[in-house]
Structure 1
Amino acid sequence: MKAGGFQPDAFTFSSILRACSRLGALDIGSEIHEQIRKENLLEKDIVLGNGLIDMYTKCGALERANEVFSQLSKRNLVSWNTLIAGYSHQGRGREALDFYEQMLCGGFSPDAVTFVCTLQACGSIGALQKGQELHAQIIKENSDKTNAAVANALVDMYMKCGAVLHARGVFEDIPFRNLVLWTVLIAGYAQHGYGKDALDCYKQMQFGGFLPDAATLSCVLKACTSIGALDSGCEIHAQIVREHSLETNSIIANALIDMYSKCGALEKAEEVFKKLLYPDNIAWTALIGGYSQHKQGGVAMQCFERMQLESHSPDEVTYACCMKACGSIKALGRGQQIHAQIIRLQSLEKHQLLFNSMIDMYSKCGVLDIAKNVFDGLTNRNVVSWNALLSGLTQHGYSRDAVKLYEQMLSRSISPDATTYACVLKAYGDIGDFEKGHEIASHVIKQQLLKTNIVVANALIDMYLKCGEVKIAREVFDEIPVRDVILWTSMITGYADHGYGEDAISCFEHMKVEGLYPDAITFAAILKACGSMGAAYTGEDVHSEIVKQELLEHDAVIGIALVNFYANCGMLAEAQWIFDELPERNVISWSALMVGYAQLGKEDVVLHMLDMMVAESIEPDAVTFTIILNTCSHRGLLDLGQMYFESIHEVFGILPTIEHYTIMVDLFGRAGHLDRAVAIIERLPVSVVNLTMWHTLLGACNKLANTNLGMWAFEQLHEVDAAAYVCLSNIFSVTNQINAEQPPKQTV
């Protein structure tokens, strides 16, 4: 146009600015601004000024929009609305509300557009009180019943502020309802976990004659995702194909992939994904996230590689999903590569989501020092950051450190959530701190998490069971309205661990009556109960159930549990047969069979099995050597026991445990070598030597009637253990009897 000698006027500039706004063409818009400034058009035409404000806000250049606004000699309501809308849409709701207050002070009265923009600002920052003030003003002017956009914005604001009942109240009070209003309500329900209400709302909308569009269908699929309603999601998918032909619409397809992925229907998610000609980042991320969530981290990382090969640039959500995948398969090296990739992309360095996922990945991989370094490097830590590190500490047995971290979290005024409570309950259970765990229980009950969060309920029951409070655990269990297999399994395991075999079996039968199918861990727990009480017939019935479900071929846990069960019942032929039939034998299955032979006094077989195990390239662990050393101790095999003990560290690179040292004290004591038993104790730090070791030494002194050494062991015990008095009394009794029968001998 300019090449043809035509000069643009204000109308032309306005049209170009609108185009720049739509395209986000900031550079071209800035050039137009410069031409407008040179021709002094800004002072003459407020429409141009408003167009510039609109262009800059939509391109994200809010400071420049504010500069233009400040330079306007005259401002009208459109100027204010444009600036407020711009700040609101760019996520700076607080500043948008500040401009609204300035507008009122300037004598301007808000219109419907102003109300819509300010309500959006309130929703974006959760300013419920300010939103309610605006609502009151809107009612005063009757705009909520005469303007559909205002009504939609009100419902949306209340939903985004979490005031679901208020949103529903506004909705019910509106005489006219359009598709946008229904969609806003459904989206709000889905966002806050009211998936069932969202689905009911969707049905009401259809009965009212409204046909859903892509946005509505996307929201209702999100509702299915939030409550795991796979069947409802499949029905809606069929409706999409049958009535709307929208399956390849990117918004719908992405929602379908996300729904199927999160509900565990990964094959269906792949089917939808493959129908897309050009899957976008959201589709890729939904698929990667689904595989990560359902413990298929290897497949998730393959998807990530494919995504990059197809020239898609991962965003912060994609990287977070990949970190989760690396954590799930303990792929530390790959996780570190992604960490380095994120650091190179400086634009992603400020995303808290990413750093939380890094803490989680390093924690799950057991590299807790790096996880702590990432955590310490965060300037703003939210509850997710604390939970990621807490979870890692409890998962890897650092329960006391987890408790300290929890106390730090409270001192920083971070409010714990359900995940926090689940982690800290596990920590208190692991260290046996019943009182502190019971305190957490009061918070859980007060927040009604016992009835709404199955993970927290399970953690609470597990804590009580680990602290030996079986009766309280059962009381809590009975209060939970909906109990899943995991909850029943925890209760069965608790009964089995504490010797309540009959209660465990009763619980197992009750679970099946309620229509729940036991999983591999449930079967392992009930087999443990049967083995502990010698309930061979019941255990064989359980074995039959396992065979019917064809679980033995697919789950090593069940195979090991069966070996343990038959071994504990003295049925070594059956235990050996199960062991021989296992598709893969590991150190746990070998150790389970060793225990069985050891219990029946077949020590030669136990020692031979260690040689066979090593010959099959199975590395023995600490538990294996506990069995071997106990076998040597019971047989009095002093030299062989000494050789195995030394090989633990020298040959196999395992640090001997306190239990290993205690068995060696027992071995030397049984063989009459109290000097060597004392040497074992003296080479250990004082803080490491426990009551069991002192009792073992005292028992050896009792057997050998060694009063002096017995007194030394007794002095370590008498303040904390009354049983020490009994043992010492026996020593003196035996010593006096010996002294009465023969001349005194010098003691060690």
Structure 2
Amino acid sequence: MKLSKSSSVSSVVSNVDKHSTNTNLTTLFNKYVDKNNVFSWNSVIADLARGGDSVEALRAFSSMRKLSLTPTRSTFPCAIKSCSALHDLHSGKQAHQQAFIFGFHRDVFVSSALIDMYSKCGELSDARKLFDEIPQRIRNIVSWTSMLTGYVQNDNAREALLLFKEFLLEESECGGASENSDNVFVDSVAIASVLSACSRVTVNGVTEGAHGFVIKRGFDSEVGVGNTLIDAYARGGHVDVSRKVFDGMIEKDAVTWNSIIAIYAQNGLAAEALDVFDQMVKSTDVKCNAVTLSAVLLAIAHLGVLRLGKCIHDQVIKMDLEESVIVGTSIIDMYCKCGQVDLARKAFNQMKEKNVRSWTAMIAGYGMHCRAREALDLFYKMIKAGVRPNYITFVSVLSACSHAGLVQEGWHWLNTMGHEFNIEPGVEHYGCMVDLLGRAGKLKEAYDLIEGMKVKADFVVWGSLLGACRIHKNVDLGEIAAKKLFELEPNNCGYHVLLSNIYANAGRWEDVERTRSLMKNRRLAKTPGFSLVELRGKVHAFLVGDKEHPQHEKIYEYLEELNVKLQEVGYVTDMTSVIHDVDQEEKEMTLRIHSEKLA
């Protein structure tokens, strides 16, 4: 007995779920619904597409066409959206062709779906052509938003903003600013796309201008718009404004909390990230999820707070999020940055599914702890497993080679990453190689590499060479590197200090004095470094010679005892990296009260 049209969707989808992906949908239709009913096919295609089963939705669309059924206006949008979800340009073009044959290509909903499909497949020119072909009288908010979103998704922010200006002009001409009008008017989805575009342009004041428009139109109470504003300001480097937007939002959802936590963590404000997380857990009903815990783990990794990291790992297990690739990768990164590489490898081995980021995080962890051979072994296993390395993977591989002094391996991967994996070396890769050559004392090779780079050397590359020149006492190359660095970062006094130390090592005291005078004239002062240590769940910070800690007297007393014991066994302090124009006793005292020793 055939089912009624109203019950066909749930019945067929339920039975599709029970069968393998090889099950013929036409056979199921023969059993459950009238296979010659195009409306039944439309319902199932729509239901599968909305449920995220894009492959099955396209199979249903194909099966329907094989039965020579004539599609309706409602057939195409969901079929085309399935092509978009799969980034299947070939199937999308076929659907477009059939929509044209049956005369539905001018339908505004079909056109909007096609615009979205071409945009997601990177064919912006085709998307814009379709948009321009939609008669102005039938363009709706979906058409405009599809094109706006397409530009944003393809990092073409300027075109998105220009299109939005057209949108506002048409809205004004049509009188669509009123919600009572039958014409098009801006909605919160379009605003979110515009704000995303604003965050991707470098022109000052663009995001602020869009924010003013949001307030004027009354969209500032929309949670989705607020979330996009938070992200837009953060992308522009205005984390403090992001926080103000966050604090001003009356209603906040999980995305809101996750955004501000992640923004703090990604900008090195780890303590602030953890404070917000604590506030979220204690004072709201919003439940944390995989994205939340991933951001929190990043903050913990920055602070190196192992105990808290283990607590979050336990929470991941309780929430049954161990199989989440994003969380698993964050756990690996956290353990590595907390110095627990073996725990990181254990977490890595327990992951059922790994992506390129998971492999890269573990390779980077081995590299940062001078376990280069293990890093390279894992890299070879990654390739053997069929996981294609990316740009960051090779940064991690070359960094591992640098920490272990593996010059030949470093040259090999720098020279082969381009033609074997189609990844052209970037400034980060060259920076690692310069560091590797510098550590090995091959300063001329390092300089020649910089001169032959296909990309412009940045402060990291020249800084690596300058640091190597100090270690290996090469004044000539040190001056060249310092000159470049003074041009790139004129207000960074660290480079002047390094050059001064190079001169001092060479006994060139007049040059030392000249460098120091230059710093004084430019009012350049070195920012004091600090060290962090976790004890019983609390993070303690120390500066050089710090006496602010409540237990500083006990700390100095214990440190003095250790120094006496070191001297008794013949330890001699290495003072080559300390300021040279002070006496020996003052140099030694500077090292004794270093922030890392206090911590």
What TM-score comes out, normalization by structure 2 length?
0.76
Alignment correspondent of 2:564: 728
1:460 matched to 2:318? The reply is: no
- Could you tell me whether the CA contact under 8 Å between 1:425 and 1:440 is conserved in 2? yes
Name whichever of 387-396 and 199-208 sits farther off.
Answer: 199-208
Cα distance change, pair 733–204 in 1 and its aligned pair in 2 (3 A):
closer
SS at match of 2:74: helix
**What is the CA distance between 1:223 and its match in structure 2?**
3.0
**Structure 2 counterpart of 1:435, one-letter code:** R
**What is the CA distance between 1:334 and its match in structure 2?**
0.3
Structure 2's unaligned 5+ residue stretches are 19-24, 172-183, 532-539, 571-584, 587-599
1:574 matched to 2:445? The reply is: yes
Cα distance change, pair 254–533 in 1 and its aligned pair in 2 (3 A):
same
Alignment correspondent of 2:265: 394
Q: Note the 1:557-572 alignment, pairs <5 A.
A: 557-572=428-443
Cα distance change, pair 659–230 in 1 and its aligned pair in 2 (3 A):
same
Cα distance in 1 for partners of 2:198, 2:328 equals: 28
1:498 matched to 2:369? The reply is: yes
- Could you tell me whether the CA contact under 8 Å between 1:390 and 1:423 is conserved in 2? yes
Alignment correspondent of 1:489: 360
Cα distance in 1 for partners of 2:456, 2:431 equals: 11
Cα distance in 2 for partners of 1:731, 1:566 equals: 34
1:304 matched to 2:164? The reply is: yes
Once superposed, what is the RMSD of the aligned Cα atoms?
A: 4.1
Alignment correspondent of 1:253: 111
Cα distance change, pair 173–519 in 1 and its aligned pair in 2 (3 A):
same
Alignment correspondent of 2:292: 420
Q: 1:651 aligns with which of 522, 529, 533?
A: 522
SS at match of 1:585: coil
Cα distance in 1 for partners of 2:232, 2:401 equals: 38
Cα distance in 1 for partners of 2:425, 2:140 equals: 37
Cα distance in 2 for partners of 1:399, 1:534 equals: 32
**What is the CA distance between 1:414 and its match in structure 2?**
0.5
Q: 2:143 aligns with which of 263, 268, 283?
A: 283
- Could you tell me whether the CA contact under 8 Å between 1:284 and 1:307 is conserved in 2? yes
Instruction: Kindly provide the CA deviation profile for residues 199-252 of structure 1, in whole angstroms up to 9, marking residues without a partner as x.
Output: 4444455566655444333223333444xx223x42232243157534443322
Instruction: Kindly provide the CA deviation profile for residues 381-438 of structure 1, in whole angstroms up to 9, marking residues without a partner as x.
Output: 1111112211211121111111121121122121122321221121121112233333
Q: 1:526 aligns with which of 397, 401, 421?
A: 397
Alignment correspondent of 2:97: 241
Max radius of gyration: which structure?
1
**What is the CA distance between 1:287 and its match in structure 2?**
3.2
SS at match of 2:286: coil
Cα distance change, pair 472–225 in 1 and its aligned pair in 2 (3 A):
farther
Cα distance in 2 for partners of 1:277, 1:241 equals: 20
- Could you tell me whether the CA contact under 8 Å between 1:524 and 1:558 is conserved in 2? yes
Cα distance in 2 for partners of 1:459, 1:263 equals: 30
Cα distance change, pair 330–449 in 1 and its aligned pair in 2 (3 A):
farther
Cα distance in 2 for partners of 1:631, 1:374 equals: 48
Cα distance change, pair 369–621 in 1 and its aligned pair in 2 (3 A):
same
**Structure 1 counterpart of 2:310, one-letter code:** H
Cα distance in 2 for partners of 1:428, 1:577 equals: 40
**What is the CA distance between 1:626 and its match in structure 2?**
6.4
Instruction: Kindly provide the CA deviation profile for residues 5-36 of structure 1, in whole angstroms up to 9, marking residues without a partner as x.
Output: xxxxxxxxxxxxxxxxxxxxxxxxxxxxxxxx
1:371 matched to 2:207? The reply is: no
Alignment correspondent of 2:407: 536
Alignment correspondent of 1:706: none
Q: Which of 1 and 2 has higher RCO (CA within 8 Å, sep 6+)?
A: 2
- Could you tell me whether the CA contact under 8 Å between 1:462 and 1:490 is conserved in 2? yes
Cα distance in 1 for partners of 2:493, 2:2 equals: 74
Cα distance change, pair 238–535 in 1 and its aligned pair in 2 (3 A):
same
- Could you tell me whether the CA contact under 8 Å between 2:96 and 2:114 is conserved in 1? no
**What is the CA distance between 1:585 and its match in structure 2?**
3.0
Alignment correspondent of 1:315: 187
Q: 2:379 aligns with which of 502, 508, 512?
A: 508
Q: Note the 1:611-630 alignment, pairs <5 A.
A: 611-614=483-486, 616=487, 618-619=489-490, 621=492, 624=495, 627-628=498-499
Cα distance change, pair 617–505 in 1 and its aligned pair in 2 (3 A):
closer
SS at match of 2:441: coil
**Structure 1 counterpart of 2:96, one-letter code:** I
Cα distance change, pair 317–461 in 1 and its aligned pair in 2 (3 A):
same
- Could you tell me whether the CA contact under 8 Å between 1:151 and 1:174 is conserved in 2? no
**What is the CA distance between 1:554 and its match in structure 2?**
7.5
Q: 2:210 aligns with which of 338, 346, 353?
A: 338
Alignment correspondent of 1:218: 77
SS at match of 2:52: coil
Alignment correspondent of 1:198: 57
Cα distance change, pair 331–196 in 1 and its aligned pair in 2 (3 A):
farther
Identify the structure with the greater helix proportion: 1
**What is the CA distance between 1:191 and its match in structure 2?**
3.3
